[in-house]
Chain A
Amino acid sequence: MLEYARWKYVLVAAVLLLAMLFALPNFFGEDPALQVARKDHNAVTGEGEKELEAFLKERNISFARSYIDNGRLMVRFGNVAQQLAARDAVNEKYTGTYITALSFAPRTPEFLRALGLRPMPLGLDLRGGLYLLYQVDVNAAVAQALEGYAQDARRALAGAGIAVTDVTTVAVGSERPNAVRIVLPPEADASAARNALGQALAGLSISTLNLERGAAIVGVLTPAQIRERQDYAIQQNITTLRNRVNELGVSEPIVQRQGIDRINVQLPGVQNSAEVKDILGRVATLEFRLEDMQNNAMEAAQSGRAPLGSKLYTHTRVGRPLLLKREVIATGDQLTNATSGQSQEGPAVNIKLDARAGENMLKTTRANLNKRMAVVLIEKRRETTEVDGKKVTRDVTDEDVINDATIRGIFSNQFQITGLGAGEARELALLLRSGSLATGIYPIEERAVGPSLGRENIQKGVTALIVGMAGVFLFMALYYQTFGLVADLVLLANVVLLTALLSMMRASLSLPGIAGIILTVGMAVDANVLIYERIREEIRKGVTPQAAIRAGFDKAFSAITDSNVTTLIAGVVLWVLGTGPIKGFAIVLSLGIITSMFTSLMGSRALLTLMYGGRRKISRLAIG
């Protein structure tokens, strides 16, 4: 008698149904689409959607569908010509409000999209695009921090009336500078100097040395502080790059840290690297300015005229127009640190300026208590537009008010901005950093794939997949007859399950990934072959068909798990150590081994038990 527990049937059926649902979005293909985002980073509203739809209709540009996805409007088109026409029209009419990006939108039906189901994103080698790897000069970030400490130390000692011979950055027990050394004249009082330096060198491990020419005070950055500085530099650059990439109007860009001191940027669909690097490499700064409280910003916004000595900002992240005084209290290159954290009043952003800006801030806050101060992020970039078929390049300055707060106390170079949500505090800190003096980055690797080559790669991968699978299916059916067909069904289920897992993980599919799927099909056969060969062996021994099936599964179990572990080890090592497409291959390979064990051990047993189970009398198995 051959039986299989009911819960196992249920499990197999449930997993396969779910898998089909998750894998489904991959089979609808893609349409050319236009992605429209608001320049001020707010979400596109339903009204905005209606307005744009009406605008496209008015221009006689037909489109298939439009919907809001993640705060961006996606408009799907039947062909590329319509897509391009729509982009040009929207760019021309809404240049100040919207940023557009050419993209592809899946033809996934509405109900699947509403469930949050999406197809696997395609890697750059399959859809074309630009991959850039930036090296971040993290050592310069540490040097910058040390320079800041040195400056603060000089000021602190000058303030306390203590003379110094020399303030330098030095390397203590390391290859690179990691400490500030203050050398005092022979007659100076070292302990008084040390007290005076307490604030300026806070956080460093301080020691006093007695040199021949006088005492020296050395403050060393701990390894943890150095790492923190380096992380800070990377984060700062990632934020800056992300902001700029978003404004490039690329759909689904990726900006992520790679290793200790690298950032990789992936821009699908982008070809011209020179233009991109122009934008990514542009300069940003910050300005701290007082708000003009005498005049009404709403009125100014309506008339479009700012009073003398003030500047009007209509697009702001604080959500209302603002009038700011023209005097600048502090600029971005004077900002030495901005981090988000907790204060007694909830989430806060802690800001540190250098000593010079601190003095200015002290004067300003003393005179303007309870007035409001705003921070403006200013970015300069080059924009190339096509006017009458000619390319025109002009410099564009984007100014954005990123914060506006009441001055609650008198402070100099260290203060907090409070009254924010935790998420807001984090974002503000990142924005502030992106406008502060950035650590240098330079591209060290660049890979570009043209869109036609991408399509060719997909075609080749899919052809190889279909031919390979067809070959395997045919072979199995011929060699194992009915059982071979069962194995074919199980293999198909395996590919569906694997596709579903990859879609759920949103891991992008590259050509090596497709190769991984193909290889998985070949290797997944192994488990079936092991089981079937065992069944044949049992039949040869003269066992009844049903007992042979049961024995085949039971005896092959240890061999299947054992043998798959070794391949899984190789897959996981590659997953951990590999980058880019290799990682993609490793993910597919590792997941494929797991899914194939599930489908061949549980799925095929469920199917065979359904076919041959119960008390039926079977004299012969069609196993070739």
Chain B
Amino acid sequence: MEFFSHQTRFPFMATRKVWYTLSAILIVIALGSFFTRGLNLAIDFTGGVSAEVKFTKAADVDAVRAALTGAGFHEPQVQNFGSSRDIAIRLPPDAKLAPSEVRSKLEGALRQLDPNVQVAQLDVVGPQVGNELRVSAIWALAWTLILIFAYIAFRFHTWRLSFGAILAVLHDPVLVLGFFSITQMPFDLAVVAAILAVIGYSLNDTVIVFDRIRERFETNRRSPPAEVLDEAINQTLSRTIMTKVVTSIVVVALLFLGGPVLKGFSAALLIGIIAGTYSSIYISSSIALDCGLTAEHVFPSVKKAALDHLP
């Protein structure tokens, strides 16, 4: 079986304005939502209480909320999740509430509704922990980007390629953040881990395309750069898409079968992988071309005079 039986010849470079525009629109939407709606930060980052409760019979969300308010909890968020008997409760941080009291107070309030209620999971995060996690997540992101930039600069001697790779890499997490902002899916630590994995993984494609660009320049020094870049992308296209299809198979399995804990994580991976594939095919090389990339930039040691003598 082969999806790409003959060598494809898509004119990526000639149509690049279209792809730039598409990316720009998506980024504007993502950032717009991010700055206006923000993210639905999970208690990992805000502090507070999150509980999963199993009732023995179908639970009335409003009654649960009323019972919690009656017990002195402020602004409880109560939701069904999974089945009608499973309830997720979220409470904002409350300085007056000691972590050790939460369980007994919560159980006490819920037992009035159902004496056999079970608290399956209970997380209490102090506000200072939440703050610190936010800071360490930002640091993790910053370090990953810095190290990857350094690696690209080392691998591709010309800033034109590095710049393309960097823009393509920034493109992907922005779209993931936009997705989480628009859908208001809970944004937790696992999502941050997924975004970092996406940054690394999406760069992977760009690096492979660039590797091929270098190889093509070596054999075709005299062809116009746009032609060489198109050739390189087309030649790696089958691999790029194949790999992403296979990775998406496992991520989709995680998304639908991994349960609620991994939902945000796998959603972030899936969006990131799609965005990453797009950016490494349509964006990274085009930007390098617009920065004026030629064979000499990739092989600075070869003088133009020497090239002229080649057949």
Name A533's contact: one of B238, B261, B266 (CB within 8 Å). Answer: B238
Chain B residues near A133 (CB-CB < 8 A): 126, 129
Chain A residues near B143 (CB-CB < 8 A): 573, 577
Contact B250 A447 (CB under 8 A): no
Chain A residues near B128 (CB-CB < 8 A): 135, 444
With most chain B CB atoms within 10 A of its CB, the pick from A274, A445, A461 is A445
Chain A residues near B259 (CB-CB < 8 A): 456-457, 460-461, 511
Decide if B125 is an interface residue (CB 8 Å cutoff): yes
Decide if A168 is an interface residue (CB 8 Å cutoff): no
- Mark the stretch among B21-29, B178-186, B195-203, B286-294 that contacts chain A: B195-203
Contact A562 B211 (CB under 8 A): yes
Residues A568 and B200 in contact in the complex (CB < 8 Å), given A444-B126, A511-B261, A537-B235:
yes
Residue of A nearest to B215 (CB): A555
List residues 220-259 of chain B with CB under 8 A from any CB of chain A: 235-236, 238-239, 242-243, 245-251, 253-254, 256-259
Residues A565 and B249 in contact in the complex (CB < 8 Å), given A274-B103, A453-B120, A456-B259:
no
Q: Mark A475-496, 1 if CB is under 8 A from B, else 0.
A: 1101101000000000000000
Decide if B140 is an interface residue (CB 8 Å cutoff): yes
Name B148's contact: one of A453, A465, A537, A569 (CB within 8 Å). Answer: A569
Contact A125 B261 (CB under 8 A): yes
Decide if B153 is an interface residue (CB 8 Å cutoff): no
Decide if A582 is an interface residue (CB 8 Å cutoff): yes
List residues 184-212 of chain B with CB under 8 A from any CB of chain A: 189-190, 192-193, 196-197, 199-201, 203-205, 207-208, 211-212
Chain B residues near A225 (CB-CB < 8 A): none
Contact A512 B265 (CB under 8 A): yes
A268→B299 CA distance, assembly (Å): 58
Q: Mark B138-154, 1 if CB is under 8 A from A, else 0.
A: 01100110011001000
Residue of B nearest to A487 (CB): B246
Residue of B nearest to A277 (CB): B100
Cβ of A151 to closest chain B Cβ, rounded Å: 33
Contact B204 A468 (CB under 8 A): no
Decide if B60 is an interface residue (CB 8 Å cutoff): no
Decide if B122 is an interface residue (CB 8 Å cutoff): yes
Cβ of A487 to closest chain B Cβ, rounded Å: 10
Residues A445 and B125 in contact in the complex (CB < 8 Å), given A453-B120, A569-B200, A570-B144:
yes
Contact A464 B99 (CB under 8 A): no
Name A450's contact: one of B120, B192, B211 (CB within 8 Å). Answer: B120
Contact A464 B254 (CB under 8 A): yes
With most chain B CB atoms within 10 A of its CB, the pick from A452, A461, A559, A581 is A559
Chain B residues near A562 (CB-CB < 8 A): 155, 207-208, 211
Name A571's contact: one of B122, B200, B251, B258 (CB within 8 Å). Answer: B200
Decide if A578 is an interface residue (CB 8 Å cutoff): yes
Chain B residues near A558 (CB-CB < 8 A): 211
Cβ of A384 to closest chain B Cβ, rounded Å: 15
Contact B193 A566 (CB under 8 A): no
Contact B100 A512 (CB under 8 A): no
Q: Mark A531-571, 1 if CB is under 8 A from B, else 0.
A: 00100110010000000000000000011001111111111
Contact A522 B258 (CB under 8 A): no
Decide if B2 is an interface residue (CB 8 Å cutoff): yes
Chain A residues near B197 (CB-CB < 8 A): 519, 567, 570-571, 574, 589
Name A467's contact: one of B196, B199, B257 (CB within 8 Å). Answer: B257
Contact B103 A448 (CB under 8 A): yes
Residues A453 and B52 in contact in the complex (CB < 8 Å), given A533-B238, A570-B200:
yes
Name B193's contact: one of A443, A567, A582 (CB within 8 Å). Answer: A582
Residue of A nearest to B136 (CB): A577
Decide if B61 is an interface residue (CB 8 Å cutoff): no
Chain B residues near A589 (CB-CB < 8 A): 197
Cβ of B254 to closest chain A Cβ, rounded Å: 5
How many pairs of A and B residues are in contact by the CB < 8 Å rule? 218
Contact B104 A563 (CB under 8 A): no
Chain A residues near B211 (CB-CB < 8 A): 558-559, 562-563
A536→B235 CA distance, assembly (Å): 11
Name B254's contact: one of A515, A563, A573 (CB within 8 Å). Answer: A515
Contact B121 A453 (CB under 8 A): yes
Chain A residues near B1 (CB-CB < 8 A): 478-479, 481, 624
Contact A529 B208 (CB under 8 A): no
A591→B144 CA distance, assembly (Å): 17
Contact A467 B253 (CB under 8 A): yes
A563→B239 CA distance, assembly (Å): 13
Chain A residues near B247 (CB-CB < 8 A): 519, 522-523, 525-526
Residues A529 and B242 in contact in the complex (CB < 8 Å), given A566-B204, A571-B197, A624-B2:
yes
Chain A residues near B201 (CB-CB < 8 A): 523, 566-567, 570
Decide if A180 is an interface residue (CB 8 Å cutoff): no
Name A475's contact: one of B7, B151, B245, B254 (CB within 8 Å). Answer: B245
Residues A519 and B250 in contact in the complex (CB < 8 Å), given A443-B100, A568-B200, A581-B190:
yes
Decide if A498 is an interface residue (CB 8 Å cutoff): no
Decide if B176 is an interface residue (CB 8 Å cutoff): no
Decide if B274 is an interface residue (CB 8 Å cutoff): no
Chain B residues near A207 (CB-CB < 8 A): none
Decide if B119 is an interface residue (CB 8 Å cutoff): yes
Cβ of A520 to closest chain B Cβ, rounded Å: 9
Cβ of B213 to closest chain A Cβ, rounded Å: 12
Residue of B nearest to A470 (CB): B253
Q: Mark B85-120, 1 if CB is under 8 A from A, else 0.
A: 000000000000001101110000000000000111
Name B243's contact: one of A456, A468, A529, A624 (CB within 8 Å). Answer: A529
Chain A residues near B281 (CB-CB < 8 A): none
Contact A450 B121 (CB under 8 A): yes
Decide if A518 is an interface residue (CB 8 Å cutoff): yes
Decide if A191 is an interface residue (CB 8 Å cutoff): no
Name A464's contact: one of B7, B236, B258 (CB within 8 Å). Answer: B258
Residue of A nearest to B126 (CB): A444
Residues A469 and B250 in contact in the complex (CB < 8 Å), given A133-B129, A457-B261:
yes
A457→B148 CA distance, assembly (Å): 34
Chain B residues near A564 (CB-CB < 8 A): 204
Decide if A507 is an interface residue (CB 8 Å cutoff): no
Cβ of A248 to closest chain B Cβ, rounded Å: 16
Residue of B nearest to A462 (CB): B257
Cβ of A326 to closest chain B Cβ, rounded Å: 37
List residues 116-162 of chain A with CB under 8 A from any CB of chain B: 125, 133, 135
Contact B253 A574 (CB under 8 A): no
Cβ of B56 to closest chain A Cβ, rounded Å: 13
Name A573's contact: one of B123, B144, B243 (CB within 8 Å). Answer: B144
Name A446's contact: one of B123, B189, B192, B261 (CB within 8 Å). Answer: B123
Contact A471 B250 (CB under 8 A): yes
Chain A residues near B123 (CB-CB < 8 A): 445-448
Name B100's contact: one of A273, A478, A518, A578 (CB within 8 Å). Answer: A273
**Sampled A-B contacts (30; CB under 8 Å):** A273-B100, A445-B124, A448-B122, A452-B120, A457-B259, A460-B257, A475-B245, A478-B1, A479-B1, A479-B2, A481-B1, A519-B197, A522-B248, A537-B235, A558-B211, A559-B207, A562-B155, A563-B203, A566-B148, A568-B200, A569-B151, A569-B200, A570-B144, A570-B200, A570-B201, A573-B147, A574-B193, A577-B143, A581-B189, A582-B193
Binding site for A on B (CB under 8 A): 1-2, 7, 52, 99-100, 102-104, 118-126, 128-129, 136, 139-140, 143-144, 147-148, 151, 155, 189-190, 192-193, 196-197, 199-201, 203-205, 207-208, 211-212, 235-236, 238-239, 242-243, 245-251, 253-254, 256-259, 261-262, 265-266, 269
Binding site for B on A (CB under 8 A): 125, 133, 135, 273-274, 277, 443-450, 452-453, 456-457, 460-461, 463-465, 467-469, 471-472, 475-476, 478-479, 481, 511-512, 515, 518-519, 521-523, 525-526, 529-530, 533, 536-537, 540, 558-559, 562-571, 573-574, 577-579, 581-582, 585-586, 589, 624
A460-B257, A461-B262, A563-B203 are known contacts; what are 7 more A-B pairs with Cβ within 8 Å?
A468-B251, A472-B250, A479-B2, A522-B251, A566-B201, A574-B140, A578-B193
